[in-house]
Amino acid sequence: MLNSVQHLTKSRTYETLEQVQGDKLRLFTRPSCFAFREMASRLFLAYNGRRRGRLMGRDTQEKYFPVREMTDGERIRTVKEIFSTVTGKYDFLNHLLSLRRDIAWRRFAVRKMRFFKTQRFLDVATGTADLAVEACRRYPFLQVTGLDFIQAMLDVGLKKAAEKGLSNRIRFLRGDALVLPFPDRYFDVAAVAFGIRNIPDRLGALREMRRVVVPGGQVMVLEMTFPRNRIFDGFYHFYLHHILPNIARAFSKNPAAYQYLADSIMNFPSPEAFAGQMEEAGLIHVKRHRLDFGITYLHVGIKPQKA
**Residue 109, pLDDT score:** 98
Reading phi first (left if > 0) and then psi (alpha if -120 to 50, else beta), residue 216 is in left
Across 63-72, 79-88, 229-238, 267-276, least confident range: 229-238
CATH number at residue 152: 3.40.50.150
Residue 145 forms part of a structural domain: yes
Residue 307 forms part of a structural domain: no
pLDDT tens digits for range 191-217:
999 999 999 999 999 999 999 999 999
Residue 234 forms part of a structural domain: yes
H-only helix segments in 98-220: 101-111, 130-138, 151-163, 202-212
Residue 1 forms part of a structural domain: no
Phi, psi of 297 (to 5 degrees): -125, 140
In the chain, how many domains are there?
1
Mean pLDDT is highest, among 3-17, 23-37, 113-127, for 113-127
The dihedral through the CA atoms of 194, 243, 245, 226 has a sign that is positive
Across 11-25, 178-192, 216-230, 238-252, least confident range: 11-25
The dihedral through the CA atoms of 244, 245, 251, 253 has a sign that is positive
Residue 260 forms part of a structural domain: yes
The dihedral through the CA atoms of 160, 162, 167, 171 has a sign that is positive
Averaged confidence pLDDT in the chain? 81
Helix 244-251 × helix 90-97 angle, to 10°: 150
Instruction: Return the closest-CA partner of residue 69 out of 263, 271, 242.
Output: 263
Is residue 176 within 8 A of residue 2, CB to CB? The reply is yes
Report the distance separating Cα 250 and Cα 112, nearest Å: 36
Report the distance separating Cα 249 and Cα 5, nearest Å: 34
Domain of residue 138 covers 6-302
